[in-house]
A and B are shown apart, each in its own frame.
Chain A
């Protein structure tokens, strides 16, 4: 069943002198209990804004976020149901307070525990559930006494405290040592199964996205350009941007030459990006057009969302069959 339904989510940020900047453009998806949806994309593509809109830190310009099918949910109920884990565990814990405080407050604010021994017992349960033992000792510590991985476990425990149905993880491991990333992701995966959480996993790491999620969405400049079952999207990408991302990912079994070519393409793309950022609109057309190696005339119009496999869709003219090759074929 769907836990969170997002339809046409749009977020505009006002810009000094000029039209507002559209960070998220008509994004729709749904999160299901016990399933993980990965949201991938480069920096600045709007991933974090999606998460912030879902956690009600940012007010969407348009669109609907339905929790359990309900059109509007009261603030406190919504907060209880939708929680998030922040990217940087060094910034997301208050240096002035103990770990215990970080867990007691959401438990009390959400009405999940009563003051006194009850809240302490529940906080220790939470710490145990994220493998921080012995819980009583950990609860007495302050954030600066913990390592990055331990802090992120505390952040996860805090997000679990109100007993959410939906967990938004905004690049939960990108600030951590490579050696503990898998541990944390494994923990999130286990908690998702145990508690039937609907998990939104935001990342730019395709390999972990493929491993930990059943579905993947690829975001580029505010739009979802490709979505589908994770194996299909990552192993057989149909949108040129996803193809570029997949080829840039390390360790996907590519040869040295391919890796070198991909790196050259990446550097060229980075050089172009500044100029591209200044260019405010690409008209109505495909946003990836300026960087797309396969760009053609049709791309000046907004591409359709083409079905390229079961549940696999790409926002592109190529699979939609409007390419030059396609038209010549039809002529012949």
Chain B
């Protein structure tokens, strides 16, 4: 019964809903920090490529260390590493977000659909997700990626989505099974609510917190998998991402040659993005679940 305790702000629920939500969000330091870092990356991805100049333009400065002219140095062929880093942000985020959206949609449809329908439909959908769950992810990605290689970004996105939806589908199915028998769902059936409405309006909103957190983790997984694929040379090298930067750095023997400015920045960016997304996920948990909310003592209270 503890779950039904009134939450923080019972007064003025409607008027300042948006503002209040933002204030609530910023009360969690993790969420604020995560969102901040994420905003910087997103901004870079949106407007960066217009400001940074052509990442493929070669110059006479070959393999230069960072300087005033080239903030992060240059590659062996004289391309500006900073420009590449900025342009790669867009590619990485696009692939991460697209793969995560597809994986989340598939897991919602299969998980909630199976859980709600039950019977043969549930058995079939469970079987499918179990099969995808036991297939070792990275080897499958490598095999599929090698098979469709060169077909561009879309195939990379699909390959990543294909291998990452199953676990979320299982979780959502379990949660739907639990929600399906709740009294408020039964009440909706008693007054004759249509089935699709019961699923979309009565059940889905109560799983939103899980879906959001799974989406965030799907983005992290997609970014890391994409980097791995690209590093192994299984992604389209013409589409610049942090992973392809690492791939080129490795090929040019930047690691053994001591050209740290070439491979450290993309690696660091991947790590930072992952950390920021994790922080957002934890922070959202904290904000959405009143029991996890850390109460900071008000100033002057002690």
Contact = CB atoms under 8 A, between A and B. Distances in A.
Q: Is B one of A's binding partners?
A: yes
B1 interface: yes
- Chain A contact residues (Cβ within 8 angstroms of B): what range? 35 or more
B251 interface: no
Do most interface residues of chain A lie in helix, strand or loop, or is the interface mixed? Answer: loop
Nearest to B190: A55
A143 B199 CA distance: 20
B82 to A, nearest CB: 46
A161 B191 contact: yes
Contact of A96 (B183, B188, B189, B205): B205
Given A92-B183, A93-B184, A140-B14, A57 B190 contact: yes
A109 B191 contact: yes
Interface string B6-17: 110010011000
B29 interface: no
Contacts of B201: 97, 105
Interface stretch (A24-32, A83-91, A234-242, A312-320): A83-91
A141 B7 CA distance: 13
Interface string A66-90: 0000000001100110011011101
Contacts of A56: 190
Contact of B193 (A84, A97, A105, A155): A105
A105 B200 CA distance: 13
B1 A90 contact: yes
Interface in A80-125: 80, 83-84, 86-88, 90-97, 105-106, 109-110
A90 B13 contact: no
B202 interface: yes
A80 B193 CA distance: 11
Contact of B184 (A57, A91, A109): A91
A100 B5 CA distance: 20
A122 to B, nearest CB: 14
A162 B197 CA distance: 17
A144 B8 CA distance: 11
A32 B109 CA distance: 45
B206 A142 contact: no
A109 B191 CA distance: 7
A47 interface: no
Nearest to B205: A96
A332 B279 CA distance: 90
A142 B13 contact: yes
Contact of B191 (A94, A96, A106, A140): A106
B192 A75 contact: yes
A91 B192 contact: no
28 contacts: A57-B189, A79-B190, A80-B192, A83-B190, A86-B187, A88-B183, A90-B1, A91-B183, A91-B184, A92-B186, A92-B187, A94-B184, A94-B205, A96-B202, A96-B208, A97-B201, A97-B205, A105-B188, A105-B193, A105-B197, A144-B6, A144-B7, A145-B6, A158-B191, A159-B191, A161-B191, A162-B191, A162-B192
Given A105-B191, A109-B192, A145-B6, 16 more contacts: A75-B192, A79-B191, A90-B4, A92-B187, A94-B206, A105-B188, A105-B197, A105-B201, A106-B193, A109-B194, A143-B4, A145-B13, A158-B187, A158-B191, A161-B191, A162-B191
Closest 6 CB pairs of A and B: A96-B205, A79-B192, A92-B183, A106-B191, A94-B184, A91-B183
Interface of A: 55-57, 75-76, 79-80, 83-84, 86-88, 90-97, 105-106, 109-110, 140-145, 155, 158-159, 161-162
